[in-house]
Copies of this chain bind each other. A is one copy, B any other.
Amino acid sequence: MAGIKIRNMDEFARVSGVSRPTLSKYFNAPESVRERTRTKIEAALEAHDYRPNIYAMNQNRKLTKTIGIVVPLLTDPYFAEIARSLEQRCVAEGYRPTLFSSHGDTAMEVEVLETLRSLKPAGVLLAPLGRASNLRGLEKFCADVPTLIFDSSVDQIGLAFVGSDNFQFTSHITDYLCRTGEPPCFFEMKTPANPNAHRRRQSYLDAMKVYGFEPHVISVEGEGWDIEEIGRLGGHDALKSGRFSTNTILCSNDRLAIGLLTACYEQGIHVGRGPECTIRVAGQDGHPHSRYTCPPLTTISHDYDAVSQTAAETLFTAIEGTVKPWESTRLEGKLIMRDSA
């Protein structure tokens, strides 16, 4: 009995004692068939390890059970972590997540969306490249495919936006830094890929104004996603030329901070809160690696779990029929105090 190779659903219908249309129903929603029928099917499934042909299944379906997850750069541990988390939530809900990375490239992002469109996904969780994204392309895509934007928002595109509250991020950590030492200057890329960077700069300026301190922004050159190296080189420049106006540096993001820490090390500058330290450095993001820098990096962390949960659930409810007006959810970050500031 178990030796017979099942070639298609018809054959499997025979050995399981259930009709093919019923099987079709079962595979698309196991709960939709009577319990006794389900038991019969699952017993046969044990004995014959049959799996429906994915391609034939999806051919005649308007929408598949696929969910696309697109991030700008999968080699960035932050995106890798959030993608991992989203992936798990999709699986838990019975969807088939498929991972894509734009590799920091506009053309690639466009191509990924084209590929995705032809995959007829039930929905897409998209973290756009940001500044480099092809806006009109994104809009057209979102018009055809239920798309939730996360991480960095681009106008009012898609079903909704879920990300972190960058204003809260920066104002919160600026507040912390002001209360515990010299007010910070702000270290950032001149032309950041991610629009969140602008929010963070603005929020820094606002916060400093509130506290009555003079803001200082140090913008360093450098394009692309090799952010640690940009931070390191820019850090060297700024340190040598004395552009840091106070002993406290708030970086626009953790990767920049990591590069700056390396620059400090290379110049023999001690970072931290200890008595022999001359400079404090803080980041923003709660990058997976920030725990292991030397000194461990004080940062304000995304609420990874909440972002991923909100994003996934918002998409799921939209897919399952509940149409809501466009909405932006921005979650607060949590300050992680470590030795660097």
Contact = CB atoms under 8 A, between A and B. Distances in A.
A59 interface: yes
A103 B261 CA distance: 30
Number of copies: 2
Contact of A292 (B55, B87, B103, B258): B258
A74 B100 CA distance: 12
A308 to B, nearest CB: 13
A295 B262 CA distance: 8
**Max chain B Cβ within 10 angstroms of own Cβ: one of A74, A83, A84, A289:** A74
A51 interface: yes
A331 interface: no
Given A118-B54, A292-B232, A101 B75 contact: no
A81 interface: yes
A178 interface: no
A81 B80 CA distance: 11
A193 to B, nearest CB: 17
B51 A55 contact: no
Contact of A101 (B51, B84, B120): B84
A223 interface: no
A184 interface: no
A69 to B, nearest CB: 10
Given A53-B118, A54-B119, A292 B259 contact: yes
A114 interface: yes
Nearest to A261: B294
Nearest to A265: B294
A293 interface: yes
Interface in A120-155: 120
Interface residues of A, number: 45
Contacts of A232: 292
A123 B232 CA distance: 41
A341 to B, nearest CB: 15
A288 interface: yes
B77 A75 contact: yes
A35 to B, nearest CB: 25
A88 B105 CA distance: 12
Contact of A80 (B74, B262, B264, B295): B74
Nearest to A264: B294
A101 B98 CA distance: 11
Interface string A65-83: 0000000001101001101
A294 B262 contact: yes
28 contacts: A51-B114, A53-B59, A53-B118, A55-B120, A56-B59, A74-B74, A74-B99, A75-B80, A77-B80, A80-B80, A84-B101, A87-B101, A88-B103, A96-B115, A99-B99, A228-B291, A228-B292, A258-B292, A259-B292, A261-B292, A262-B291, A262-B294, A262-B296, A264-B294, A265-B294, A265-B296, A293-B293, A293-B294
Interface of A: 51, 53-59, 74-75, 77, 80-81, 83-84, 87-88, 96, 98-101, 103, 114-115, 117-120, 228, 232, 258-259, 261-262, 264-265, 288-289, 291-296
